[in-house]
Amino acid sequence: MNFVNRHFPDREVTDRVSPGPAVSRQHKWPLRYDSVEYVALCADIATILFASVASTLLHQAKNGQAAGDLGAATGLALVSAAYLVCVLKTQGLYQPVELLALRNQIRVVCMAWTSLLLFIWAVSGFAVRPESSQQAAPLFAVLGLGLLMAERWGVKALLGRGLSGRKFAETNIVLISDQPLSKNAGLSEALAMHGYSVKGRFSLPPMGFGPVCRRRLTARVIDYIRSCQLEQVVVEAKPERWHELRALIADLRVLPFPIMFVPVGTPSELLRHHTRSLGSAVCVELQPGPLTPLECATKRMIDIIGAGLALAILAPLLALAAVAIKLDSPGPVFFRQKRCGFNGRTFLIRKFRTMHVLEDGPVILQAHHADRRVTRIGKWLRRSSFDELPQLLNVLDGSMSLVGPRPHALAHDGEFDKLVRNYAFRRRVRPGLTGWAQIHGCRGATPTASMIEARVQYDLWYIDNWSLRLDLAIVLQTPMEVLRGRNAY
């Protein structure tokens, strides 16, 4: 870019920026960067509509039927699209910077799509009356998800190409900055990449400028903007100058253009976090939760369905185990012990009794190899981890999840908290019946600090990288780990 200096009588400088010949001849897309969000949103609606209609037509063609009424398919598509778009829109996933994060996009779309299908299936069997539409529903579920994944890959590729090749249609702006040209080269490059063409640059006076200087500056900015074809005003300055900038921006309100503020300096880091409304106040989200509300709801729904089905299927075996425990040794069938769960709250964990003792106090001895406290039936139950299955009731009551960090007794929890840094971070999610640490052999007793640290590292990795696919992989690998019998005694 070529910078042409324009000197005013009072020695303030305005730098007009004009693109070079190569830039002006470059082919541009008929799409602005600001419009990417709405294009992606419309693409999702069109994709779901196509998937619903196509699945119905394919099903009719497969059964030798003539193409019938597509009203039910269209209605299902519109309901599905409205749900998906609302979920993604509220989480800000249509913003261009989020569209580039393909892995996160796929993860959230899979969860939203799965929760949508489970809800429709549970409420009304896909909520359509015609038999052909009901039979085409599984095809719609698979085809819709596949096309949404392919669409996101295509959007990411096109968006990356548009940014790297500077293909977006130009938006002419004026830049008002308190930074020298040598320092705001990064901003100029970012603006050019996103299709913003800086046609004029005005330098803010040093901090503490008065009303006279401000009025002169705003008069020149307004005069320059009205003589050019411009569309936005960008102000780049330190946030601590806001008391001065507020008056400047108030003077510029006569312009029928949006005014954008780009903060620089250390305080600007605070504005990089997401903001939320808290009544009439605006708050900054310094630390998001490990799971979004949608993710929590989806995981909870799967927990309820999975635990309910498992209890129904395993009911005869559970009853047989209860009888065997009662006949083998005196005492209750179930063993209950206080454990530390989500957010440090205590709950009573349920297990089949496998020992002659029922320890639950400030001092608890961990089970070890050839432990004399273990009953005859208890040896088989512990080796197969069958004694843990009553915790499915904990999953149903919400104190546990199917997958998550394994909870420890309160006595051990306090010891581990002192030994391992960040141990308490495990409590950011519900404890699980099985977990990432368990399928990697970290189960049973933890007699050394290194074993505790290894288990905690696995648990923290799981929390930071949670996804439905990861939960499914852990559930599928758990039976194989149980058969291997590592550290099970």
pLDDT at 487: 65
Average pLDDT over residues 335-358: 88
Residue 465: DSSP 8-state = T
Q: DSSP assignment, residue 50?
A: H
Q: pLDDT for 115-158, tens place per residue?
A: 888 777 766 544 444 454 556 678 888 999 999 999 999 999 99
Instruction: Give the range among 1-5, 142-146, 249-253 with minimum mean pLDDT.
Output: 1-5
Please answer whether residues 422 and 460 qualify as being in contact, where contact means their C-beta atoms are separated by less than 8 angstroms.
yes
pLDDT at 394 over 70: yes
Distance of CA 373 to the CA centre of its chain: 46
pLDDT at 481: 85
pLDDT of residue 362: 62
Q: How far apart are CA 317 and CA 385, in angstroms?
A: 13
The pairing of beta strand 171-177 with beta strand 13-18: unpaired
Q: Mutual orientation of helices 71-90 and 102-124 as an angle, nearest 10°?
A: 130
| Banded model confidence at residue 68, pLDDT cuts 50, 70, 90 | low
Lowest mean pLDDT among 322-336, 361-375, 472-486: 361-375
Question: Which of 200, 208, 220 has the alpha carbon at shortest distance from 247?
Answer: 208
Instruction: Give the whole-number percent of the chain exceeding pLDDT 70.
Output: 85
Over the stretch 116-128, which tens digit does the pLDDT of each residue have?
Answer: 887 777 665 444 4
- The pLDDT assigned to 38 comes to 92
Q: Which tens digits make up the pLDDT trace of 191-247?
A: 888 888 888 888 888 877 788 888 888 898 888 888 888 888 888 888 888 888 888
Q: Count the alpha carbons within 13 Å of 187 in the hemisphere toward its beta carbon.
A: 22
For residue 34, the SS3 value is: helix
Nearest to 340 by CA among 326, 356, 360, 320: 360
Q: What is the structure's pLDDT at 367?
A: 66
10 Å Cβ neighbour count for 208?
Answer: 8
Q: What is the mean pLDDT of residues 65-75?
A: 73
When mean pLDDT is compared across 4-18, 48-62, 328-342, the lowest value belongs to 4-18
Residue pLDDT, tens place only, 461-470: 999 888 888 9
- Note whether 376 and 346 are within 8 A (CB): no
pLDDT at residue 11 greater than cutoff 50: no
Q: Mean pLDDT for the chain?
A: 82
- Span 3-14, average pLDDT: 36
Buried b (16+ CB within 10 A) or exposed e, 55-70: bbbebbeeeeeeeeee
409-412 long-range contacts (CB < 8 A, ≥24 apart) are 409/337, 409/338, 409/339, 409/360, 409/364, 410/338, 410/339, 410/340, 410/346, 411/361, 411/362, 411/363, 411/364, 412/364, 412/366, 412/446
Q: Which amino acid is at 212?
A: V
Widest pairwise Cα distance in the chain: 102
Nearest Cα residue to 129 out of 68, 173, 191: 68
**Residues 56, 60, 61, 62: is their CA dihedral positive or negative?**
positive
Name the more confident of 415 and 437. Answer: 437
Q: What is the pLDDT of residue 20?
A: 37
Please report the pLDDT score of residue 263 as a whole number.
86
Residue 162 in tokens: 């548009």
pLDDT given at position 121: 72
| pLDDT of amino acid 420 | 85
Q: What residues does each domain of the chain span? A: 33-164, 173-265, 298-484
Percentage of the chain lying above the pLDDT 90 cut: 24
User: Of 56-65, 133-142, 322-331, where does the model show the most confidence?
Assistant: 322-331
| pLDDT attached to residue 132 | 47
Cα–Cα distance for residue pair 423/427, rounded to 1 Å: 8
The radius of gyration computed from the CA coordinates of the chain, to the nearest angstrom, equals 31
Q: How far apart are CA 403 and CA 474, in angstroms?
A: 7
**Which pLDDT score, from 0 to 100, does residue 399 have?**
94
Average pLDDT rounded to a whole number, residues 17-22 = 39
Supply the pLDDT for residue 18.
Answer: 39
Instruction: Please give the CATH topology (third level) of the domain spanning 173-265.
Output: Rossmann fold (3.40.50)
Bridge partners, residue 7, by sequence: 13
**Whether pLDDT at 256 is above 60:** yes
Query: What confidence score (pLDDT) does residue 127 get?
Result: 44
How many residues are given for the chain?
Answer: 489
User: Residue 294: is it exposed, middle or buried by C-beta count within 10 angstroms (0-12/13-18/19+)?
Assistant: middle
Q: Where are the alpha helices (DSSP H) in 375-409?
A: 376-383, 392-397
**Alpha carbons 187 and 234: distance in angstroms, whole number:** 11
Look at residue 10 in the predicted model and tell me its pLDDT: 37
CB of 355 closer than 8 Å to CB of 307:
no
**Predicted pLDDT of residue 435:** 92
**pLDDT reading at 350 higher than 60:** yes
Q: Is the pLDDT of residue 70 over 80?
A: no
